[in-house]
Every structure is written in structure tokens, then in C-alpha cells.
Amino acid sequence: MPMLDMPLAELREYQGRSPKPADFDAYWEDALAQMRAVDPQVELIPAEFTSPVADCFDLYFTGIGGARVHAKFLRPKKISGQCPAVMQFHGYSMNCGDWQSKLCYPASGFCVAALDCRGQGGLSEDSIPVKGNTKEGMIIRGLDDPDPKKLYFRAVYMDTVQLTNIVMAMEYVDETRVGTSGGSQGGALALACAALEPRINRAAPIYPFLSDYRRVWEMDMAERAYRELRWYFRVFDPNHEREDEVFMRLGYIDIQNLMPRMKPRVKMFCGLMDDICPPSTQFAAYNKIPGEKEVVIYPDYGHEGLPMAEDRTYQYMMEMLG
């Protein structure tokens, strides 16, 4: 079998290389309290896109830092009682995608909400001021601010939870039957959201990003999605005098450190030839999930479309209809 990373047997035991800050749990409890203190001021605006199976809306809410955050929201035309819901999250620098790509869920009796990550390719605002770099990449945004609460992904993780809470509070949504899904950055957000909102029923991440940053660096794979790590050191710490400090700060937004909080079921999809989000970084998160979990392995695939992964995700979510 071709091999880019560790053998599969070692991947299944790997626990990660990146550090976890001592106040990690307090950091995220504070973030959740900050989020709950915000009046979301939800707006549901009928979309120009129409469908015979779904009512479609542009959903806006106020997130931490006062940003107006956007999501696409679809609900079935006919709802009897309470229905399940799926939260969808997109890849790095992209947006929440086309309306038509979501129609299978409302056609099957689900609500679906797809977040635009703030400051990326969609309609959401990014309003939190930070000291230091704002040019090259979101992983390192806030890294040089004296306050670690200014890290960009702290706000994004909270946006995923806040949107989920908004959907769960809708009178026609069953809060006990809500799942999360997404690929790459979206896979990381599907896991982070499920770890930070314990009512979520299940998560289906595809090759999750934002995990085990030090392992990426040590594998010399800080390119493409992780290239900003290399750029940061070249520009801001060329002699690596602060390397340990940098990776400790990144530990706050490393999804593997959130996984011990995970209560929902998880079905993860991983390509063993992934040279963008190396398999070991994905397993660093997966191996820390304490509950029911499954990983679907694609030995010959990398960071690309994985055959049947979307179909399997759909079937996994359909189980909540029962």
C-alpha cells in the first residue's frame, strides 16, 4: 500500500504532538459564556432562490464581537411536528455553497443550515480587531495579540455553536436530532461544534483541518492550507525563538484538544494519501473522541472528493428520522 504518513496501525494509536494550554477548558467555558451573553438578533429573509420542496432563507445573526454572520437556511415546505436538522460547514476560504446542493435534506424532512465563516468567501462580517498579522491566513490571525481571546477561530467556533443554538430553538426543530457535517475546515468545524454543543446527536467530518499544528510543521507539510504557519515564522519569528510559545497559543484552537468533550456519535472519513491535512493530524483528533465513533478509510485517496462519502453522510443523517 502507498504510504504518505504512519502505517494505519500506528495512526490508530497516535495521540498528537501539539501542546494543550493549561487553561484550555476555562478558555472555552469563557468563550461559551461570552457567546450566550450576545443577543443574536436573528433575521430570516426569504431568499431569491425558490424550490418546490423547501422554503429558503438568508439567516443573519449577531456573533461575538458584534459581527453580523450569515447562513443559508432551508426548511421543508411541509412540516408535521418537529423535524431533525443538519448543520453544514464549508472549506477554508470558501463559502456555504449553492442552494441546490442542500435540497436533499428538506426533501427528506430535515432543516439544514449552512454557515458562511466570517471574513472568508461568503457574506459574514469579521469585526474583531487584532494586533499583528491580518494579511496572510486565519490560523495565525490574533496570534500576536496579547489577548488569546482574539484568535480568529475562537470566534468561528462560537459562530458554529450559536447558529446551532438558533436552529435548535426553532419550534419545528427537534433539538435532540441535530447533526453536523463538512469537509476539511468544515470537518474541523463539524467536530468543534459537536464538542462545544453537547446536545448534537452526531457529526460526520471529512478529512478535518485545524488539528495537530506541530505535527504538520514537523512533517514539513506547512504548505497550501497550512502555508501561513511557514509564512508566520519567516516574517515574525525567523530564528524560531518563540516556536514553543507559538504552538502553545495555537493549542487553544487545535480541535484535537476539544475532542475529550465530545459526546455525540462520530463518523469520520479519511484518505491515507492526504498531503494537505495529513492522516496523523486527523487521527490525533479522532483518537481522543471518547464515545461511539467510526472512521471510513480511503487508502488511495488524498484531500479530494472521496467516493460515496457524501452519500454515506446523507444516510448517516437519515438515521435520525427513525
The string of pLDDT tens digits covering residues 14-67 is: 999 999 999 999 999 999 999 999 999 999 999 999 999 999 999 999 999 999
pLDDT band at 69 (very low <50, low <70, confident <90, very high): very high
In this predicted structure, the answer to whether residue 1 has a pLDDT above a threshold of 80 is no
pTM for the whole structure: 0.97
Residue of 212, 250, 177 lying closest to 5 (CA atoms): 212
Tell whether 2 is covered by a domain: no
- How far the first Cα of the chain sits from its last, in Å, is 39
Query: What's the pLDDT score for residue 229?
Result: 96
Distance (Å, whole) CA 58 – CA 38: 20
Please give the torsion angle defined by the CA atoms of residues 67, 72, 77 and 82, in that order, rounded to the nearest 10 degrees.
-60
For residue 294, the cross-strand partners are 267
Q: Which residue has the cell 479530494?
A: 304
Tell whether 135 is covered by a domain: yes
Query: What's the pLDDT score for residue 2?
Result: 56
Instruction: Please give the single-letter amino acid code of residue 49.
Output: F
DSSP letter, residue 127: -
Please answer whether residues 89 and 189 qualify as being in contact, where contact means their C-beta atoms are separated by less than 8 angstroms: yes
Tell whether 216 is covered by a domain: yes
Beta-strand (E) ranges in 173-232? 173-183, 202-206
**Counted domains in the chain:** 1
| 3-state class percentages of the chain: helix first, strand second, coil last, to nearest 5 | 35, 20, 45
pLDDT band at 160 (very low <50, low <70, confident <90, very high): very high
Distance (Å, whole) CA 19 – CA 257: 9
Domain of 42? 8-321
Tell whether 191 is covered by a domain: yes
pLDDT in tens, 253-299: 999 999 999 999 999 999 999 999 999 999 999 999 999 999 999 99
Tell whether 174 is covered by a domain: yes
For residue 269, the cross-strand partners are 206, 296
Q: Average pLDDT of 110-128?
A: 96
Please answer whether residues 61 and 162 qualify as being in contact, where contact means their C-beta atoms are separated by less than 8 angstroms: yes
Query: What's the pLDDT score for residue 281?
Result: 98
Distance (Å, whole) CA 151 – CA 84: 32
Distance (Å, whole) CA 264 – CA 203: 7
DSSP letter, residue 321: G
Query: What's the pLDDT score for residue 111?
Result: 98
In this predicted structure, the answer to whether residue 322 has a pLDDT above a threshold of 90 is no
CATH code, domain carrying 234: 3.40.50.1820
Tell whether 1 is covered by a domain: no
- Percent of the chain whose pLDDT exceeds 90: 94
Tell whether 3 is covered by a domain: no
Query: What's the pLDDT score for residue 132?
Result: 87
Average pLDDT, the chain: 96
